[in-house]
Chains A and B, each alone.
Chain A
Amino acid sequence: MSPPVAWTPLKAAHLLRRAGFAPTPPEVAKAVNAGFEKTVADLLKPDLKPGKPPKKGLEEVTYLQAWWVKRMITTQHPLTEKLLLFWHNHFATANSKVENLEAMHNHIATLRTYALTDMRSLLLAVSMDPAMLKWLDNKSNYVGNINENYARELMELFTTGVLDESGTANYTETDVTEVARAFTGWSTHDGEFLFKADKHDEGDKTVKGVTGNLDGTDVIDILVNDPATARRIPMKLFSYFAYPITLQDPICDDLQAVYVASNGSIPAILDAIFRHDGFWSPQAERAIVKAPVQYLVGSLRMLNGKVHGKGWDVGQTLQRLGQALYNPPSVFGWKEGLPWVGTSGLLERAKTAEWIADARGKKHPVHYDPKKVLGPAKQWKDMTAANVVARVLQALDVQTVSAPTSAALLAYAQADSEGNPMTVVVDKDYVDVKVRGLIALVMSIPEYMMA
């Protein structure tokens, strides 16, 4: 199979920017050398290790968030992490109601185990996950006294969606009740899944035209094989990895066929997305607004930054940026796209940029070296202010900026403490003030927000 595009550093960077957090120069070089096929195959290799959070991480969510962020900064399997973030948002289960960080860690670990398998396996695992059973109340869904919360969201959010591409409803309110009956007794005991047979409704149910003594597994089979699911799940994955599309887009036809042919295999769908013309089209280029996690983790990867200690501040920063891992705001999860960069979002990014760029000293949890961003010291004497600006932009993976932005950054690079233009000499002091300043500024501009 020949690659979908001529395999250049720019194309490799686009893939890595989407399938991971940032295209750092070593990763781009490695991908170019390995070729498209091997790069995609390597990306799709899962990192299945659940990992063991520190004790503090099971007591306070900020530490748990920091622990996961630290993992993402160093991971050799960035696609696993990005896909995991997708599923975390898809199933949007929050500690605010689950109130048990060990259960939340296990929830994410379950998503990690099944992230790159198939929809049926994933949904079955999630339906038996204690955190989910608490989140959507199914643990108290009992025969004769049903609770419809899980049944509804299983269809509305996790599989078919409310309406299909022609605007027709995918299920009725009766289906919701019947699905709830099918899931009665799927409960927990002492924090583990337990099927309470005496609480299960053994009667006949009819779900989407199928009648029988259906239980949760049967319902999952029905929903996983529903054409609406076969269209909607790939649509969501394409929107996350390529650019936002709706159910009506013809691209969905191609991906729906892949879903059906592969029985809902997630790697097959992702592989198809990475080969699709749409993924490589101009429309996909810099089309995704970076989510806070990508903003934070990508920046640190590009700066070769490390987080020392338990990283509580890093968790806090993520919350301020608007993506509190393990705690999505509601059952519909975080809204992706421009909502990330409204008033609060942009303001917090500008502040985070400063916090990272100005990180100095042992006490600061972030460590990076702005001198290394600029390149070897022996080259500095020949660098002009324009070279410095270009180098910072390149290090932070910003290809093009508008002329006024370029002019503003250059003016900054040349401004002395009174704001007047000065002759630039690139030495350690200059790096410590101006290069850090340029890093902070580039991380605050609109172009930097787009992946």
Chain B
Amino acid sequence: MSVTRRQFLKTVVIVPAAAAAFPMPLLRGMMGVPGSTRNLVLLDLKGGNDGLNTVVPFGVDGGLYYSEYRKSLAIPQNQLLQISPQIGLNPTMTHLKAHFDAGRLAIVQGVGYPNPSFSHEVAETIWQTGVTSGSSATGWLARYLEQVGAQASPNAVSLNEQLTLLLADSGTFVPAFESLDDFTFPYDGWHSDDAQNRRDCYESIANALGAAPNEKIATMSGTSTGILDLIDTFATIPSFSHVGVYPQGGVSGRFKLVAKLLNANIGMRYFHVPFGGFDTHADQEVDDYHSERMGNISQTISAFYDDLVAMGIADDTIVVVFSEFGRTVYQNGSGGTDHGYVNPVLVFGSSVAGGLIGAHPSLDPQDATDEGEPPMVTDFRNVFGTLVSQWLGGDAAAAIPGWSLTPVPFLA
């Protein structure tokens, strides 16, 4: 029987022992570039998260506008988790409040870009590619992956059925999946005596990349090979006992998976975690819908942190929370809010310099943009550029073309 690609690779690359519960210092720092020892989790809130009910500007502009424009949606000041004379967190975010007090949460305020789009698709494209014309099909993180170059096994994961634009077009294999349970082959072990023959055939076909007649078929062949490698890899990674206490449902399952993959130490470091349900045009607080979602995120990130500490990689890992736009200051006729503009970006981790970064945008209508929205304070390209250059040790100018970086001070 012919040698499988995985068997071949074992002879040329050191594959970390799957049994280790803690990271192998040998593999880390091999390249001497800061990024090679660091992890990044990007939590992407889909639909346009209502930042104004997350990081609440109750005292901004003398407290005139927040509750005036949100007759039923405004959260009373005495319920907020106050973090400054003017700002308080949503009452469900007790865990993140504790981390804020410990200096582990930076909140970059009023993040946006000039001439904003209020379209989900266009705005998402802009945030994920860093190109404000909305015409790029390459993610800014994908451009960083390109700088790092192809690895023996994937270093980035799109935790979604389809590959996110953020990680698209890197020239490297980035798997997109939601669960490790899917990685079994064959599906039905009925004819187990012929299964190995089928597997060998599938593998031979996948490996014949050079013979592909066109790009689409070549791409699929590459993905097929990647799938076979992942099936082998995932079959041997250890189960992981979570130290952190995760909430039920919401985004917790995805973070638990990230923790398990980090613990497995198989080279996966950069994770895109989408979390839907934020396009709250109606009934935003019916059954505390939005607040509970934020509470779920807060508790999840905190539990994830506890896992990171147990693994000894807390200082090497950052979680960033962002969304394609915020929502209107005013509430609409359906108990909800419509597409807005600027939003806070949360940056979490023990290597973070915590605190509020930048003033909160003014809510005074006189300061509003042409579309009637609060003005931008920090450009999102500076937030992501800082991650690329200072956290990952990459080339920010190459990752976000046409942008001259002014770093945002959220790293210690």
**Residues of A at under 8 Å CB distance from B?**
136-137, 140-142, 144-149, 152, 156, 162, 173, 176, 289, 322, 329-332, 335, 338-348, 350-352, 354-355, 358, 360, 400, 402-405, 407-409, 411-412, 415, 417, 419, 433-434, 436-437, 440-441, 444-447, 449-450
Interface 9-residue window, one of B24-32, B78-86, B119-127, B245-253: B119-127
B46 at the interface (CB under 8 A from A): yes
Q: Which A residues lie within 8 Å of B20 (CB)?
A: none
Q: How many residues of B contact A (CB 8 A)?
A: 60
Q: Which B residues lie within 8 Å of A446 (CB)?
A: 212, 216-217, 220-221, 224
Interface of A is mostly: helix
List 28 A–B pairs whose Cβ atoms lie within 8 Å, in order of A's numbering.
A148-B338, A148-B339, A152-B339, A331-B120, A332-B120, A332-B121, A339-B163, A340-B162, A343-B223, A344-B161, A344-B178, A346-B220, A347-B185, A350-B202, A351-B186, A352-B187, A354-B188, A354-B198, A355-B187, A402-B212, A408-B205, A412-B198, A412-B200, A417-B197, A419-B197, A446-B212, A446-B216, A447-B217
CB neighbors of A among B216-233 (8 A) = 216-217, 219-221, 223-224, 226-227, 230
Report the Cα distance A411→B338, complex, angstroms.
Answer: 60
Q: Which A residues lie within 8 Å of B121 (CB)?
A: 156, 332
Min Cβ gap B234→A in Å is 11
CB neighbors of A among B173-218 (8 A) = 175-178, 182-188, 190-191, 193-194, 196-198, 200-202, 204-205, 208, 211-213, 216-217
A148-B338, A344-B161, A403-B211 given as contacts; is B216 within 8 A of A408 (CB)? no
Known: A152-B119, A344-B177, A402-B208. 9 other contacts (CB 8 A): A173-B118, A338-B216, A342-B175, A346-B223, A402-B211, A412-B200, A434-B194, A446-B212, A446-B224
Is A404 a contact of B204 with CB atoms below 8 Å? yes
B336 at the interface (CB under 8 A from A): yes
Q: Which of B1, B118, B221, B227 contacts A152 (CB 8 A)?
A: B118
Q: Which B residues lie within 8 Å of A141 (CB)?
A: 333-334
Q: Which of A322, A341, A440 contacts B198 (CB 8 A)?
A: A440
Contact with A along B106-125 (1 / 0, CB 8 A): 00000000000111111000
A137-B281, A402-B212, A403-B211 given as contacts; is B333 within 8 A of A342 (CB)? no
B371 at the interface (CB under 8 A from A): yes
Is A156 a contact of B119 with CB atoms below 8 Å? yes
Q: Which of B208, B227, B282 contacts A408 (CB 8 A)?
A: B208
Report the Cα distance A348→B336, complex, angstroms.
Answer: 38
Determine the residue in chain A with the shortest Cβ distance to B183. Answer: A347
Report the Cα distance A352→B184, complex, angstroms.
Answer: 12
Q: Give me the 6 closest cross-chain CB pairs, A-B, nearest first.
A: A145-B333, A351-B187, A404-B208, A446-B220, A402-B211, A408-B204
